[in-house]
Each structure stands twice: as C-alpha cells, then as structure tokens.
Amino acid sequence: MTLQDPLVGQVLDGRYRVDARIAVGGMATVYRALDVRLDRVLALKVMHPALAADGAFVERFIREAKSVARLAHPNVVQVFDQGTDGTYVYLAMEYIAGCTLRDVLRERGALQPRAALDILEPVLAALGAAHRAGFVHRDMKPENVLIGDDGRVKVADFGLVRSVDSVTNTTGAVLGTVAYLAPEQVESGAADPRVDVYACGVVLYEMLTGEKPHDGDSPAVILYKHLHENVPAPSVTVPGLAYELDELVALGTARNPEVRPYDAVALLAAVREARGRLSDAQLDAVPPQALSQAHDIAEDRTSVIPRSLTVPRPLPVNEEDEGVLRTSPFEAPPAAPDRRRGGRRSRRGLVTLIVAVLIVLGAGAGVWYINSGQFTKVPPLLAKTQAQATARLKEAGLDVRSVEHAYSDTVKRGTVISTDPAAGARIRSNDSVTLTVSDGPETVNVPDVQGRTLARAKALLRADGLEPGMVTREFSDDVPKGSVISTDPGAGSKRHAGAAVAFVVSKGSPVDVPDVTGDSLDDARQGLQEAGLKVTVSATEVSSQYDQGQVAQQTPAGDAQAAQGDTVTLTLSKGPEMVEVPNVVGAGVDAATKLLEQSGFQVKEDRGLLGLFGNTVKKQSVDAGEQAPKGSTITITIR
C-alpha cells in the first residue's frame, strides 16, 4: 500500500496547487502543480522538511533560484518564483512534459552516436551559458537532463550551483553524485567549470555504452577509481565506435583538470568539430543491445559524501596491465587482440582481398583520378583561430576567400564559428573558403545617464544598442524632476545588445499637499499655489456637507505628498442634498432611529430626567414634512 503524499492536494503560499508527485531526490521532491493566479502548469521543487531546518541548505536552495533566474537560455529550465510556506521551502519552475535522460538510458541502453551528440550539445550550450555567467552546476548527471515531448533538451536542478570565483574546500564532506564527481572534487571539494566538463564526459560515455565507466561495491571504490583510473574508451565496450568519440570522452574526463577544456563552451566546440569529422554511417552506428545490469538508483542521487570515503585505498592490480599507459588522451590505444568472432584476419587473406579489389577496379583507376583528383574536402576548422584556420586551409591547397565576423555566446572570441562551404564539403582544389569568426558574446556597456532627462537618456541608450524599459518615478531632493535617478542594470554593467534597461526618474522634491476641503475656491487656490502646486477645477460639482461653492473634494487628498509643480484637482460643492424629514413622533426609539437613518440623517437622543426610562418619541427637532440637509442631525426627544 502506497501512502498518499501529504502535499498533494494542498495549495502552497495561497498560489500553487500541488497536483502530483513527479520525482524524489536526495534534497527535494518535485511536484506537478498549477499556478492558480496565472492558470499555468509548472513544476514545484520542495525541499525536504528535514533539510529546510538547515540554514546552509536553505541558502543553497535560494541561491539556485537567484542563479538560474539570471540564465535566460533556451536549454535551461526557467525558475519563476521562490518562497516558503510554513516548513516548506520551494521553487516554482518551468514544467517540461517528457522524461529525463536517465529514463531514456534505462529503457534503451546505449544510444546511437548521433542521438548522444544531439543531446550533449544543448546540455553543453546551457552549461556554457552558466559558466560564462560565472556559475558552476556541480551535479551534472542524466537525471538533470530533461527531454521534452517536443524534443527540446533542458538542464535542470542547479541546486548545487556555485559562483566560479568562490572557493569550495570543504574538509568534512563532498557534495554531488558519486558516479560523476571529478577527481579534484573527490580530493578537495574544489569546483570550477571543469568539474561540469568531467561530468559531461562521463554522461557521454554512458550514452555511448549504456553503462557507467566506473563501478564498485561501495561509493569508496568508485571514488578511488575516479582518482586513480582513466575513464576507458567507449569503443572498448562498444567495438566499432569512431575514434573521434573516444577522443571526446578522453578529453572531457581527463583526470588532470589542466588537460580538460576550461569550460563547457570549449568542450562544445570540440564536440562540434568531432561531429564534423564523422560520417553518417559512424553517426548512425547502431549500438549492441545494452548489457543487463542492476541499477542502484541511490547511486544517482545527489549526496553528502563523507570525505573519509575518498581516502585512497589499495585495489587489486592486474599484473598483465602493468606498464601499459596511454600517455595522451589523443594517443591511439595499444594494439590488442581482435575480439571479433573468428580471431584476427590473416595477413595473407588481407593481401589477397586487396589484390582482388585492385584487379576489379584497375580499369577505372585513371577515370577516378581525373574526376576526384581535382577535388578535396574542406577541413574541419571549428574553434580554430583565424591564423590556424588559414594555415590549415593552405595545407589542404585552399585559400581564404573572405573573413566575416559574427557574435556568438558559445564560440570563443577570435575562433571560427563556421565555414562556407561547410566542413567536409567537396570542393575543387585551389578554391577558396569563407571563414566566419566569433566576436564573442554581443555585449554592451550600460551608459551612465544619471541626471539626464528621460528623453535624452532613452536616446543615449538606443545609440548604444540597448532598449529603454520600464519607467518608475520616485521623489528626490538631489535630482531635478524628470531626470534619471538610476538605471537597472546600473551604469557600466554589460548586457546583450537589444536588452532592456529600466529607469527610475525623479519626481522632484516632495511637497506636503494642504487640506483645502471646506475652503472657498479662491482661498484653496492661493494655499495650493503657495505650496508650489498647480490647481485645476473639475467641471462636475457634487452634493456635500459644505456650502455651495466651497471645496468638497481634492485629488490628491490633503496631507498626501506630491512633487513640486504637480496639479491638484478641486471638486466644488453644490450644497447639501435636501431630504424630506419623516414623522417619528409617537414611535419607539429603535424604530424612529432606523427610519431617520434610512432617510439619510444622523440621530441624537434627548432624554432629560423624565426620559431616562422612556421609549417613546415625544418630539423631533425638525418637523415632519420639512426639508433638511442630507447627513444633518435630527434630535429626538424621548419620554
């Protein structure tokens, strides 16, 4: 019997109706919920109550919301809101209908290389945006890669996000998921963008092979392997995989962080270059059926891992492997016996095959040379500097036709974004290629417009490639009315071209508005003008307690604050509304009072000594049938 989750059916913070539980993690539970204000389905991530009592975890949880809210990237799960409701601390996030990469791997095992790269590239683009914004994810794994029903790939769960510039050297514990921890995380807890690169290398290995690179009977064994063993080439598990894929895994999972790409943007460039070298057959290679293996879901959860588990322990060594060491992640693996059925193909058989092929094709060799010898292929140049790309083209017998420039959020400034024709395209020898070189992210410095008029500030903003945003107004004793007090983001901040900048504009020094209700129009006008305010009179008059021609209402009201030069609107009285007084003599006190009040009058009782215990109205101050101002007081005498 499954117990009902106590949160399902509740409404958190008076806004988020929890409809169903989606997933349970090491630190939080994720629910599908409905924002009842906006009628929008979203994901609600609620921290486990036991952790909500820990200030450090709550701080980390809130940091996730603030960090991800700053990442406007199509491959990052958007965070809408953060808050608390009693013991519940929550994030309201974008809901992605679909599944996680972990779900895909459990169902299908190893993926085709094309599918693996199609998933990896948007993941790296999302992490690259985070890295360039100054953040490290620190917990990349298949559970945090969401694949929507529409095919979109998004990175979620920035729960362990940390500033790139911050130092993380914990002595008691390591935060993360065992299978994806980089060696430097295991050793010291230190984390920079390269730990995300390492985790992505492990994820790529897992997508290509259907299994994790390091296994063991305990977390300690797995951590030891991260420290002391290279991630094996995926082609060891899946024979026939292209060597470029082995290179990518070796590059991303290098145990020495100095050998790894410095961030996800750099790894993304390497992935795209490797893809450009792969044929369609290599990209669409069908992996063998994934090996059946027990899967410990606990291994995939984010954990607080005691540092004592990371102390190196001796492991059995296979003596036959001693002395075999790959010195570079790009060095070809040492020769090994062919594991394919039938053993190694004999050299004599290979020679015989080659001779047979040459005999068959010999007659056409001259034609092949004439038709193909005049052509070459455009070499892959992605992420090469302009000088490197030019040299590479010359080596291939090609020239640079022209160099164009474009902004890029993912390709390093000064390196090649693309070529025309594209890499791998068939092109005549001695032909030329157009290079498109990255100018880096298109960023603009927000100009200093403090003290400028709003119109001038907007013009300066547009001239610098930015757009004027929302305008709010505040009182200021220092900045003249109509001039800019500040901008958000502030002057000197870097923003993408076309980004909006909000203004705070001065309303001038505040002025206390005098209360002129009940004054004549002339007196009211004089008092307001002396306070530095302008006056306008409404064309409509209203009935009020004040005499005709006196001020009945004013906007803004008396004692409010306005800016000097602001306008106060006055509404004049047309005198009180006259109402016929009903007859209440002889009636009981309660009935008389009710009738008079319903007619719009105030009621005052006059009992005297004789009426202390009476309950009958003997007299009324205004006779029945006469007219009296509505709201005026009628006195009833009781005996």
Give the integer Cα–Cα distance in Å for 638 and 621: 12
Give the integer Cα–Cα distance in Å for 141 and 182: 12
Q: In 36-184, where do the E strands start and end? A: 40-47, 79-85, 88-94, 98-100, 135-136, 145-148, 153-155, 162-163, 173-176
Coil, strand or helix at 332: coil
Contact residues for 463 (Cβ-Cβ < 8 A; gap 6+): none
Cα dist from 3 to 7, 8, 12, 53, 225, whole Å: 12, 11, 20, 24, 39
Nearest of 92, 104, 32, 101 to residue 64 by alpha carbon: 92
- For Cα atoms 90, 94, 95, give the angle at the middle one, nearest 5 degrees: 100
Residue 35 pairs in a beta bridge with 16, 40
Tally: H helices and E strands in the chain: 17, 33
CB 29 within 8 A of CB 48: yes
CB 554 within 8 A of CB 517: yes
Q: Residue 521, CB half-sphere, CA atoms under 13 Å: how many?
A: 13
Crossing angle of helices 193-209 and 243-252, in 10° steps, is 150
Residue type for 183, please?
P
CB 132 within 8 A of CB 265: yes
Active site members: 139
SS3 per residue for 258-273: CCCCCCHHHHHHHHHH
Contact residues for 390 (Cβ-Cβ < 8 A; gap 6+): 400, 435
Question: How far is CA 325 from its chain centroid?
Answer: 43
Residue 320 main-chain phi, psi, to 5 deg: -65, -20
